[in-house]
Chains A and B, each alone.
Chain A
């Protein structure tokens, strides 16, 4: 019983008795030592080799991650330093990783071409109104799907989810015809154009799905208790469910706001008038690609102005953003 060998390929594993069983019935398992021997190398050398291998692989993992992180962060860094360079330095054949002369004036100059306050205001109007609308419709629909019983519930929910598979271009074509034929797209029709940028985005199937999952986790007992208290469904929704689902609602709010900030395609189609443009459209149209020699310093100053608010939002609400986005991968 001193050695319990079992062989596999070249590897040999056995338990060595180091006095565990001496003169006693009780086996002191602490004194049993597992010995693994591969082609006559001892435990110490194997342990040492494993340790070295582990350190090497950890170093390799870190090296890979750091290199990739630099690749990710480089465009941000390049944007910021280019926004502070002179045009000659930007176009020099020897690129510099720090501006020789810091040109704060690029920022002042870019505002002459890129009407940041106007676009910011437009984007916030569209973003906030469409976000509030979405939150309201989403809360109602998620409540109905999570809490209420009605015929055809599962079928309807499945149809809703299936619409997420359809490329948006299918809808965009007719939606454009709809808003155009309703006379919403006139040059001076501010209300029409803004409504066209807002109303179609008051529904999001994905957020309904997200909130429904969250509502479903709220225990039924709370619902029955509020029923016993004589509270209506309406009361229960606003007093119990909405406060409990607040983290998800904040996630939806921020993601939706970011969506408006980044939306380009639809606003580009409906907002012809310079004064109604949102921030992405304003950015692209202020610096068209047909410019003979684009002034990259000014362009990058403008992109910094567009990018930094989002990054700030991300830093402050990192938890909500990453949770809201990450939830998509967990199939429910």
Chain B
């Protein structure tokens, strides 16, 4: 019986294994390989050998020579990497804290709870491009944001807007879009916390804030760890939010101006112009950075997370 089951099991798994071999495992190895190939052209499959230069090129350390002049790629080191890190550092903590407060608030009320819960989940079921375009209207120089805050005429995302302004608008949009998932996960975690802990805290005359920091957060730590890991990965990969909100990589009429580049934006641009070796190098570096961040979080969680 064991043996009979054995080959049957592999038969059931065959579709998934074949598809993953073609579209997950082979690509993973192949992409790592391509990142070490000089001048790789995917249409012909040719390259001029093994090299580390792709990484140096992406980081702007090494130029390419054409017609006697050496040109360096500065967009990634100057814009894409700083922008990506700003997005990560600003939006991840901000969205986690706001989502946590909303979830704790929702968990403590009864009246109209499900109505509010539904509203808070709405951004999750929206199209990133469509809502990005709505935020573009809101951040118009004569738009709602400027009208409400009395800053009429300020350019946030239009041509001529400063990088800082565009980044601000982008972060507002990313946090707005990131909230619902986090609220839902936190709320389902909160509902599983035993009421006894809160009764104990009340007997000790612990205040609301103290209870939140010393009871709720530690008991919610598995969910917080999960959300931290997934949102770090997600915000390192921001791309369609920029496309939705700004529609192009820069806040200028000049097509070559890419002050709103992110790492993944660069990767997709490079694929489209047959520079997959640079795209692969950038993707591999991104993967390693994400891996390091994830491992650090697991390491820290060993002492902080209570299961």
Contact = CB atoms under 8 A, between A and B. Distances in A.
A180 B41 CA distance: 12
Contact of A167 (B5, B140, B233): B233
A284 B129 contact: yes
Most buried by A among B12, B128, B179: B12
A194 interface: no
A120 interface: no
A280 B12 contact: no
A107 interface: no
Contacts of A153: 9
Contacts of B101: 64
B247 A288 contact: yes
B127 A307 contact: yes
A180 B42 contact: yes
Interface in B134-184: 134-135, 137-138, 140, 142-144, 147, 152, 176, 179-181, 184
Task: Give chain B's interface secondary structure class.
Answer: helix
Task: Give chain A's interface secondary structure class.
Answer: helix
Contacts of B79: none
Contacts of B286: 167, 169
Interface string B240-268: 10011011100000000000000010011
A58 B102 CA distance: 13
Contacts of A160: 20
Contacts of B71: none
A329 B19 contact: no
A329 B26 contact: no
Contacts of B130: 280, 283, 303, 306-307
Interface string A318-332: 100110011011110
A116 interface: no
Interface string A266-291: 00110000000001100110011110
Contacts of B6: 149-151
Contacts of A289: 246-248
A72 B123 contact: yes
B89 interface: no
A210 B192 CA distance: 19
Given A148-B8, A264-B128, A170 B19 contact: no
Contact of B109 (A65, A258, A331): A65
B272 interface: yes
Interface in A103-162: 136-138, 140-141, 143-144, 148-151, 153, 156, 160
B77 interface: no
Given A65-B105, A144-B13, A284-B244, A167 B27 contact: no
B57 interface: no
Contacts of B36: none
A93 B101 CA distance: 35
A219 interface: no
Contact of A169 (B30, B205, B283, B291): B283
A206 to B, nearest CB: 11
Contacts of A326: 184-185, 187-188
A68 B182 CA distance: 14
B102 A68 contact: yes
Interface string B219-248: 000110011000001001101100110111
B72 interface: no
Interface stretch (A18-26, A27-35, A74-82, A242-250): A74-82
Nearest to A171: B27
Interface in B32-82: 32, 34, 42-43, 45
Given A144-B13, A166-B28, A171-B28, A69 B128 contact: no
Given A75-B131, A148-B12, A165 B43 contact: no
B12 A174 contact: no
A137 to B, nearest CB: 4
A280 B248 contact: no
A303 B274 CA distance: 32
Nearest to A80: B134
A284 B137 contact: no
Nearest to A287: B133
B10 interface: yes
Contact of A165 (B24, B31, B127, B294): B294
A180 B43 contact: yes
B127 A262 contact: yes
Contacts of B247: 284, 288-290
A95 B5 contact: no
B281 to A, nearest CB: 10
B165 to A, nearest CB: 16
B233 A165 contact: yes
A68 B32 CA distance: 44
A325 B124 contact: yes
Contacts of A172: 27, 267-268, 271
Contacts of A181: 42-43, 45
9 contacts: A61-B105, A72-B122, A163-B20, A166-B28, A169-B279, A173-B27, A177-B30, A203-B20, A329-B186
Interface of B: 2, 5-6, 8-10, 12-13, 15-16, 19-20, 22-28, 30-32, 34, 42-43, 45, 98, 101-102, 105-106, 108-109, 116, 118-131, 133-135, 137-138, 140, 142-144, 147, 152, 176, 179-181, 184-189, 192, 205, 208, 222-223, 226-227, 233, 236-237, 239-240, 243-244, 246-248, 264, 267-268, 271-272, 276, 279-280, 283-284, 286-287, 290-291, 294, 307
Which 4 pairs of residues, A with B, have the shortest CB-CB distance? A289-B247, A174-B27, A329-B185, A150-B9
